[in-house]
Amino acid sequence: MIKVLIVDDSPLVRQLLTHLLSDTADIQVVGSAEDPYEARELIKKLHPDVLTLDIEMPKMDGIAFLRNLMKLKPMPVIMISTLTEKGAAVTLEALAIGAVDFILKPKSDLTNKLMDYREELIDKIRFAFKSKIRPYTSIPKPIQAKDKMSYLQNQIIAIGASTGGTEAIQRVICQLPTDLPPIVIAQHIPAAFSASFAKRLNNNAGMTVIEAKGGEQLKYGTAYLAPGDAHLIVEKKGMSLYTKLLDSEPVNRHKPSVDVLFDSVAHSVGKAALGIILTGMGKDGAKGLLNMKNQGSFTLAQDEASSVVWGMPGAAVEINASSEVLHIDRIPPKILSLLKVKKKH
């Protein structure tokens, strides 16, 4: 039985979350708290397995409470987030501090989508319960290329991730030099959050990171993040590669889908591409990574020990889609060793 404690200042939200979880055989809501001080006492008394935590609360905000919790008693936490720019920035900070995942705050007009919301909430609690909680460790310094590299034309790095992915992607990107071939990224994230995530990556990484708008020619030293409400694909026109956004149905319940991105890279780039699948729940990206490998791409999967949830990388390993399985901090040097460099004449 997974014991859940709900921490939220809204009585309505506490009541709704409790109701949504009430008929689940393997989940029990053991209590609810309206502020972090009450939550602290209930954690000592009830020993919950998973916490749902509102970001904006009186007396102490969710971020300050999460910081203390991760120092004193690390445990799986799912943030309850608002769909705003401020909510996005704070949620990404919470994930950096150690929260496993987030879910959007339920709205009162959710009636016809309530069952979908319930399913998502239950999935996230189950995965949080099985996830690895680890103390935050600083990102290693960027790898310095020995001298200015000159890479072959139309090489590309494609990265896909879900749960735990915002931190995993940042960890990889921030260790890479600035002049690499273009990087394309599909991360499962809501539309209101993707611009904030791109901005956060851009502020912390050496390279330029932007949210793809569609139609950009892929440039060296730039990473392109799929927006949270569209599939990102790579298209070849003439001798160049371009981004394209598709407003089609979700694939594997996701939009953007990692499979959609990887399949396009396999088709447009083939063996000049490098595919990387990072932490995340579900199987999105596994078949696409296999498609890339079958087209001659070298493919990497994050290992179980360094993944928050080894769903997507595990699914890729299961179907033999990854050429190699590596700890997150071994992926950046491996990327550099795999990139083809122009020979000096």
pTM value is 0.94
327 is annotated as an active-site residue: no
284 is annotated as an active-site residue: yes
Percent of all residues in the chain with a pLDDT value above 90, rounded to a whole number = 81
Residue type, 12: L
Catalytic residue among 188, 194, 231, 322: 188
List, for residues 248-260, the tens digit of each pLDDT value: 999 999 999 999 9
List, for residues 10-40, the tens digit of each pLDDT value: 999 999 999 999 989 999 999 999 999 999 9
Q: Which ranges in the chain are annotated with CATH 3.40.50.180?
A: 156-338
pLDDT at 145: 65
The mean of the pLDDT values for the chain is 92
**pLDDT of 345 above 50:** no
Catalytic residue among 8, 49, 284, 303: 284
The CATH code that applies to domain 156-338 is: 3.40.50.180
Beta strands in the chain (DSSP E): 2-7, 27-33, 50-54, 77-81, 101-104, 156-161, 183-187, 208-211, 222-225, 231-237, 240-246, 273-277, 298-302, 324-326
The CATH code that applies to domain 2-130 is: 3.40.50.2300
**pLDDT of 201 above 50:** yes
150 is annotated as an active-site residue: no
Q: What is the CA radius of gyration of the chain?
A: 20
List, for residues 266-294, the tens digit of each pLDDT value: 999 999 999 999 999 999 999 999 999 99
269 CA to centre of own chain: 24
Q: Which ranges in the chain are annotated with CATH 3.40.50.2300?
A: 2-130
| β-sheet bridge partners, residue 235 | 242
